[in-house]
Structure 1
């Protein structure tokens, strides 16, 4: 997979369908020469044409040759302050006050298997063909050494990148920018796609033409955020869902990030992705190493859908871990939308009992079970059980629910604290707060300074005690505010720029400890819904609550956008009551079930309040999901329409088994007009040489995909499903 041509000094990374090439230039600069469809061989540096470009300076070693400039050379890891005026990959404040970085090739090694990162999540190579390339670059003046790590997972066409920066000099260095990946493209006109949005409408795809200048997406909220997602795509202007070239890149990280795309005066494009430089600095003493998060890259010549399916498989099978990564998750019911804070043990049991009678498998008790937690204003940080609500603690309730044949789950928000709590009154300095400044609240809460060892240990000890106290099978891990007042009493002033990143590392450390001690525990990530939906969290939590917005019509858009990178098996999706609490819209019960069945599936209501007709539908939905879960979780996912296009009257999607013998289509009518055009749906992913049965009729796979399926006229918000079987 990884080939080195000593005569040409090229290193080529080959996957099943793609090639990625770099070249060691005579100056020692590591040039990027190609990333695209797989090639048989060749030195692609021939595509780099020397030219005297005005105001592009020339390094000393090329003498009077004005045709060679770092400003015009495509690089694997771009320099800073020495003639390349495009986006730098690394910036540092050196001991002498300068801030230049000029990295040149030293050596490289190739190893079998996939590298791992210290204290950081990363894709792993078990079960697939994987290799690691390590390239060492050095800035001779400062002594800074950069190790570029490349992981190749051949079957998924996935290439990962990470960076280790080591101070081999004699003086301390302060890193102020460390990109995880830099990718240069030659002349071309491209579009870029980011996933924007807001709370309750996360991951909305935004596609725009790349014009001259720098275009960015990122977060400075301390998490990957509702507003932007650490995933983006560069594609040709004519790339569609099913055809055309596209390059996707995702950061395996859950904190502040910056994705940048620069289109230059020469119509070259540079993509960089990594930790956001906002309030970031890292003091690197001699001999110390800083490790940047991993970035994962996929190239597809078959459109955006194929790119997504490659990410889906790699994330599901080689990023998520533990026994739940490839198993059907328990069908659960959560009490939050049914009760808010107003419940006791008997109320939770009554919801569980009604749910057990229709086939629900797990009861999850949400916020309000601990401390003096009767509203948003208090209790966070006090993880002692509120025995007024739960006499005897968690164990009696958990055991009662187990007696119904159900598992028991619980909600926590361990990164936060209320001022009205015993913890805060005892340890005022355990929350982020800048000395001499008033606090900034979010949802009436502050953020615990997990960068301090004693705070991190307090959180971990309380979580361990909780999990040992009762038979708990599931934890919903929430985070309901962004980080502000980011200052740690545990670090000196010159290291305050490390706090944002150290906070994320501490969250990972706690999650890893729980993963090791409770390997069968299913953790669902959450941050006000989808505010921390990223590859970093999926390494520890194989599913994430997709959004606090459970309205079925809005969820069509949220789940559509999420699918650009993340698999359906990772999307927490529930049937909730109507009118919906956020949109005040009422949708048919069947529609809510069809939409939720495209994710992990569960319920967010009190079944005691449903009619007999609705309870019958619940039984049908649960039976169907048990039949279809393997298609949804392990099958290939196809987007059949775009719910953001005003001209599309319906939203449709499709799951297809790996052997193409079964498929499941979901469809919701999103708008209806008088005298409508007959709707037609073209399916995808089937075998054109096979016949398929739909509702008792036989169709050719070719006619279903190329001619299409005529749809019935549906009312607005009405849904249908097609179960498709090969004959």
Structure 2
């Protein structure tokens, strides 16, 4: 209780977690932990037991210990199976005699300063003891020796509770966990709308909302990865909640494998929310003395609308989840050769592309698929992590040195979890491929999944990757995963352990991440899974950025990045400017519109710069200079969604400095409107009483010499990551001269505008909507803080 975030009332067994933003109150009744209240912060007092529902209802059973406590009606903290609560249990345990009935009773608690790490799993962090406090509540089923520890962490300045559960077998007989949720929250009513983030390859994380209804509504994955189909996040909001106002809960899973997230509304209109590992195909054998740790789940709350909820989760990712080495630090602008060359490249071709990229201010060259083994197509070589001498005559070390000599950092693509049938690793170790005895093997992209539940596989892949990284100056890895798991079976374990395979697989993935980053702590690993098929909080604990989608079309990316932003910060979204016509959609969009979308991400390029017009190269020089100036504002400002792309001809968003002195606004026309009506852009997050100047530039304006020369104002060879500077999270950009140079070619709107005017009256942007795919950037700065151009 060092920080005063957790108030313990031992006389009546109540615990109140509160930080002035959120309150979460637990009470022990009849030995059971009940949720008494969860929501907006309230003052602490000695007794909240009046919040327990003790009303009689027909056909509802009671406990022997308390005849007025009906488990079917009360708000259980961690509901069990078989004791009168007929809703979905959080925990189901198969016992030696075939019974699944458990009776967990409260036996004690601990309050810890800070936040303990979870064994073998990613989780949020408290870098010092004064930024968080953790409550551990222990429950015990004496008959079978089953102990369950409920972990709750509350952060000092965030409306978030981090939840996880430790299950231990203290008895003398083996147990089998069949279901173990990480989070259970019972709410007293069902007047909510549930928003999930759904999609498929190239159209990930599109928001989909529907009112809660009696029964079950659920999302999940059984693919072995969190998947592009359903992201392991959801928003439970009051029906009148919008981006600026209203109450909502946010749920996010710090996990990258199979998950289940559901809302269950009972016949009394109460709601149960659960989040955890998907029980389909899952079980975990607990021999006496063994334990199981669930992944972490995050529960966030707001009464100020969905933008505020997003800001909370963005800060949790940036300040408490990501590794300190790259936390709130700018990463280099990159170029990836994939859409420029695919498999058709030579070292000379790569170096020519790198020299051109360097001249435009790009800082990191990434060599994608095709550099290793016998890999000249997707049919062979995958899994053999040795440089192909026909492609790289001096190996990875040689091309890395040559790229460094050009003045760029070097990055490399891996797909560590996969192998082709036609590969040395599969020929030597066919048993390393995931397959079920006597069954055929499903195929996709001519590749198989290696069994990362097998320690020998993890060790082998680590050894190959370590040898390359230890011998060459590799600053960045793109970690891809292009196939889901089928025929799930672990040939290294027996019958009682088969249900563990998919979870052990993810633990193996996390182990490889940890070992690589322990050996090479400054390495940037960009997560990727056919684009955004494993874009989740678990990967973000190791990767400061994830490739958001394989769809590089800017207009499609508006949808993807918009939906992604509800839980994930802009700084985590890998985003590139690609060629036109786009390789996925065939659309032709202005290069500045493509850049204006990608800049609200980690920013990079994916095109053959040696085959684009000189005007595009001039634009790229200006774009890289602009991004280097404004990246701290984009990545560390509060991100506001202003207009949604779904069902609309426009999209708009903005990043506002924490001190509200500056903002960068992006306004996009999806489709032009003939004889168009009046349109106004309403900003958010500004100080209503300050006065602001507004500058703007449209994507369809011609590139002028003055603008392209702005690229010379920034040293193209300086990479933020090398300098080790932290971007911080507070004020706007202090280098006013640099800002003025980056704004060359922007137009100043006449006069000044109060923050209230920009937010409530808005700016007339009607003329933006005359042409398809047009876009406009606005830079908003407090009056007199930016030098005149």
Range into which the TM-score falls when normalised by the shorter chain: over 0.9
The CA deviation at 1:325 is 2.0
In 2, are the aligned partners of 1:52 and 1:68 still within 8 Å (CA)?
no
The CA deviation at 1:157 is 1.7
1:35 aligns with 2:38: yes
Aligned equivalents of 1:411, 1:188: Cα separation in 2: 47
In 1, are the aligned partners of 2:190 and 2:212 still within 8 Å (CA)?
no
In 1, are the aligned partners of 2:232 and 2:253 still within 8 Å (CA)?
yes
1:725 aligns with 2:781: yes
Aligned equivalents of 1:28, 1:8: Cα separation in 2: 11
Give the number of equivalent residue pairs.
Answer: 721
Corresponding position of 2:118: 117
1:168 aligns with 2:200: no
Aligned equivalents of 1:528, 1:625: Cα separation in 2: 26
Alignment of 1:299-378 (within 5 A): 299-378=301-380
Corresponding position of 1:685: 685
Alignment of 1:576-725 (within 5 A): 576-644=578-646, 646=647, 648-695=648-695, 696=748, 697=750, 698-714=752-768, 715-725=771-781
In 1, are the aligned partners of 2:677 and 2:766 still within 8 Å (CA)?
no
In 2, are the aligned partners of 1:91 and 1:177 still within 8 Å (CA)?
yes
In 1, are the aligned partners of 2:325 and 2:522 still within 8 Å (CA)?
yes
Alignment of 1:6-45 (within 5 A): 6-25=10-29, 27-42=30-45, 43-45=47-49
Corresponding position of 1:85: 86
The CA deviation at 1:154 is 1.8
SS at 1:683's partner residue? coil
In 2, are the aligned partners of 1:654 and 1:665 still within 8 Å (CA)?
yes
Aligned equivalents of 1:137, 1:642: Cα separation in 2: 46
Deviations 1:578-601 (A, max 9, x none): 111111111111100000000000
Structure 2: which 5+ residue stretches go unaligned?
696-747, 784-789
The CA deviation at 1:356 is 0.4
Aligned-residue CA RMSD (Å): 1.0
Alignment of 1:219-368 (within 5 A): 219-368=221-370
Deviations 1:490-543 (A, max 9, x none): 111221100000000000001001111100100000000000000000001110
Alignment of 1:390-409 (within 5 A): 390-409=392-411
The CA deviation at 1:706 is 1.1
SS at 1:598's partner residue? coil
SS at 2:204's partner residue? strand
Corresponding position of 1:539: 541
Cα gap change, 1:404 to 1:16, in 2 (>3 Å): farther
In 1, are the aligned partners of 2:682 and 2:758 still within 8 Å (CA)?
yes
In 1, are the aligned partners of 2:680 and 2:766 still within 8 Å (CA)?
no
Deviations 1:143-187 (A, max 9, x none): 111000111112122210010000011100000100001000012
Aligned equivalents of 2:766, 2:610: Cα separation in 1: 34
Corresponding position of 1:571: 573
Deviations 1:552-610 (A, max 9, x none): 00000000000000000000000000111111111111100000000000000011111
Aligned equivalents of 1:649, 1:613: Cα separation in 2: 28
TM-score by length of 2: 0.90
Corresponding position of 2:733: none
In 2, are the aligned partners of 1:115 and 1:151 still within 8 Å (CA)?
no
1:5 aligns with 2:9: yes
Aligned equivalents of 1:404, 1:98: Cα separation in 2: 68
TM-score by length of 1: 0.98
SS at 1:234's partner residue? strand
Aligned equivalents of 1:148, 1:342: Cα separation in 2: 54
Aligned equivalents of 2:660, 2:634: Cα separation in 1: 13
**Of 45, 48, 51, which residue of structure 2 is paired with 1:47?**
51
In 2, are the aligned partners of 1:631 and 1:664 still within 8 Å (CA)?
yes
The CA deviation at 1:140 is 2.1
Deviations 1:414-463 (A, max 9, x none): 10010011111111111001111111112111000111121111011011
Deviations 1:368-426 (A, max 9, x none): 00011111111111111110011021111111111111000000001001001111111
SS at 1:693's partner residue? strand
The CA deviation at 1:6 is 2.6
In 1, are the aligned partners of 2:335 and 2:604 still within 8 Å (CA)?
yes
Alignment of 1:190-229 (within 5 A): 190-229=192-231
SS at 1:465's partner residue? helix
**Of 405, 428, 431, which residue of structure 1 is paired with 2:430?**
428
Deviations 1:130-153 (A, max 9, x none): 111000011222211100011111
Corresponding position of 2:740: none
Corresponding position of 2:133: 131
SS at 1:307's partner residue? helix
Structure 1: which 5+ residue stretches go unaligned?
none
Deviations 1:15-51 (A, max 9, x none): 24111101011x1111101111110124443233322
SS at 1:195's partner residue? strand
In 2, are the aligned partners of 1:105 and 1:136 still within 8 Å (CA)?
yes
Aligned equivalents of 2:343, 2:417: Cα separation in 1: 19
SS at 2:767's partner residue? coil
Corresponding position of 2:739: none
**Of 65, 79, 98, which residue of structure 2 is paired with 1:61?**
65
Corresponding position of 1:525: 527
Corresponding position of 2:76: 75
In 2, are the aligned partners of 1:15 and 1:158 still within 8 Å (CA)?
no
Alignment of 1:137-152 (within 5 A): 137-152=139-154
Aligned equivalents of 1:6, 1:151: Cα separation in 2: 19
The CA deviation at 1:283 is 0.4
In 1, are the aligned partners of 2:190 and 2:265 still within 8 Å (CA)?
no
Aligned equivalents of 2:64, 2:11: Cα separation in 1: 25
SS at 1:280's partner residue? coil
Aligned equivalents of 2:638, 2:72: Cα separation in 1: 42
SS at 1:658's partner residue? coil
In 1, are the aligned partners of 2:53 and 2:73 still within 8 Å (CA)?
no
